[in-house]
Structure 1
Amino acid sequence: RFNENPYFENESLTKAFSFSPSGVTYIRGPSINWKEGMDITTGPRHAIFIKRGDEQKVTEYGTSFFTWFSDSEDLGERLNDEVAELIIDDLWPNAFKYFLSVSIGEKKSKIVCRNYYEG
């Protein structure tokens, strides 16, 4: 939770990701309720840079922690299913290994698993 602040009204900001075997299926982020003139992602400085045509500064200024919450659709495309692929290819089939915190070496894995089952 955020304390009262001069920038936005929200008490908390969260972003949810849903994955399927085909990749990212849904990304939901909050709308940030900025107080008047305090939106640091598109404020007055941002408008001045656009008017001048200085795209480099617009890009630099527009990139902030808070833009991550509002870029839901673009973020899904950039994510490229990386997290989903890691879960499907490594975490799911090797859950026991991760549960036991075993090193990746196969010999040690077999020894620890055998000891675990033998009690």
Structure 2
Amino acid sequence: MVEIEGVPYWTDAIGQIPFALNEYRNVFERSKNSEIAAGETIDIGKKFGDESLMNIIFPSPDYSNGYDNAMIVRAVNWAKKRYRLTPTRMPNGQYEMRVGKTSYSPKNMRAYTIKKKK
């Protein structure tokens, strides 16, 4: 268990967040479509959810690991608001649509709002 801002989480589930953000950005960059990026990220998270490399040969999606999958979905939903396509000038002078950041704060990924008792 780890605590983030006083909220306990399973450590393994927290590890799904960087995976989901990297995968989402990679697919978004390739597909130029945030819905495709979201779907593919969630699917690959389920495919390798049990952390077994044997899933490369014998795919067995993990639909039962609700907490890890929930963290992936949560990270993807945040990423859809954090990243957008922006025109970027390339070294050859041409412009290409690339993934850029918005001002959507990482603080918006919180699961809970903890209210202090008065």
| TM-score bin, normalised by smaller chain | under 0.3
TM-score, structure 1 normalization = 0.26
User: 1 or 2, which has the higher strand percentage?
Assistant: 2
TM-score, structure 2 normalization = 0.26
Instruction: Report the structure number with the largest CA radius of gyration.
Output: 1
